[in-house]
Structure formats: C-alpha cells, structure tokens
Amino acid sequence: MSKLSHIDENNRPTMVDVSAKKVTDRAACARTIVHLPEAVSAAIQGDEIQSKKGPVFATAIIAGVMAAKKTHELIPFCHPLGLEQCDIAISVDANDVVILCRCKVHHKTGVEMEALTGASVAALTIYDMCKALSHDIVIGETRLIEKTGGKQDFKYSG
C-alpha cells in the first residue's frame, strides 16, 4: 500500500477523502524569489515597475490572488476552497523580488497549494510583464514558509 495520500489501495491516483476531518482555521504562507537582471532592476521606481503593459507589481498581485482562488482548477486533486483571505506582498531586495502569498480558510483541508500557486503565478506575471526589458529574469526558489491548522503546523527555519 502506498504512503502517498493521493494514491488509493489499487495504486491509482485519487482525491483525498476529507469528509471525516474537522473544520478548523488553516493558514499558509509561500514565498517565491525572482532575480532581476540590471536592465529590469533599473526600471524600478519606488516600489513599482512601470512597463508598457502597466504597473508590474500591482498586476502580479492581482494575478496571484486570482490564481490562488482557482488552484483547484489547476492542480488535479486539490479540493475547491472558498478562500477567506489571500494577501500577496511584493518587496525588492537588491536585484531580488520577494513575493509572499498568505492564504486563510476555515475548512477541512489546508491552503498550502493555494499559497504556492499564488506566489508562483505572481512571479510568472512579473516575468511576462518585464520580458521586453530582458529575458534573463530568473524565477527562483518557491517554497512553503509556514502552515497552521490541520494535523501539524510547519515553519521553515532557513
């Protein structure tokens, strides 16, 4: 028998049955780092990049929230969740853009995938909107930073 939660006793992919789980407050935070080459970093004015397509970070925030809300449509075995909060914060540290996506829900299953999806799509949006300036943009590490609720909490210690 598989130890993977999305594989059934016949070794077939399946959605996890959450019907017996308790409804609890659940939250998750994910981070994606985008490394900008100098040509793109030079376009940052204050806390935003204005491109021909519009305000880059503001658009990335909207795209990330939209993606987090649609995670169950993108990842086959994710349960559909009515997110109660999705907040994306974007900051610049030298040539790195740090994207944090925090999601909350009161449900039987967690929001890790929603947070990871939101951070990832925000990063992809930054790439898309800045690629006219340079194709040397690198979408780096995406990772879960923290989760609470459910069986066990998690906090990245690095």
pLDDT of 34 > 90? The answer is yes
Kindly indicate the confidence band of residue 50, based on its pLDDT and cuts at 50, 70 and 90.
confident
* 148 is a domain residue: yes
* Catalytically active residues, by annotation: 128
* 101 is a domain residue: yes
Question: pLDDT averaged over the chain?
Answer: 93
pLDDT of 106 > 90? The answer is yes
* 138 is a domain residue: yes
* 29 is a domain residue: yes
The pair of structure tokens assigned to 101 is 């996506």
DSSP state of 77: T
pLDDT of 151 > 50? The answer is yes
* 41 is a domain residue: yes
Query: What's the structural domain count of the chain?
Result: 1
pLDDT of 1 > 60? The answer is no
Kindly indicate the confidence band of residue 131, based on its pLDDT and cuts at 50, 70 and 90.
very high
Residue-wise pLDDT tens digits, 137-146: 999 999 999 9
CATH number at residue 121: 3.30.70.640
pLDDT-above-90 percentage for the chain: 76
* 5 is a domain residue: no
pLDDT the model gives residue 91: 96
Q: Given its phi and psi angles, is residue 64 left (phi above 0), alpha (psi -120 to 50 degrees) or beta?
A: alpha
pLDDT the model gives residue 98: 98
* 96 is a domain residue: yes
The range of the structural domain enclosing residue 101 comes to 24-155
| Measured CA distances, 126 to 73, 76, 109 (Å) | 22, 25, 30
pLDDT of 5 > 80? The answer is no
pLDDT of 63 > 50? The answer is yes
pLDDT the model gives residue 2: 53
pLDDT of 8 > 70? The answer is yes
Closest CA to 35 of 120, 117, 118, 123: 123
* 115 is a domain residue: yes
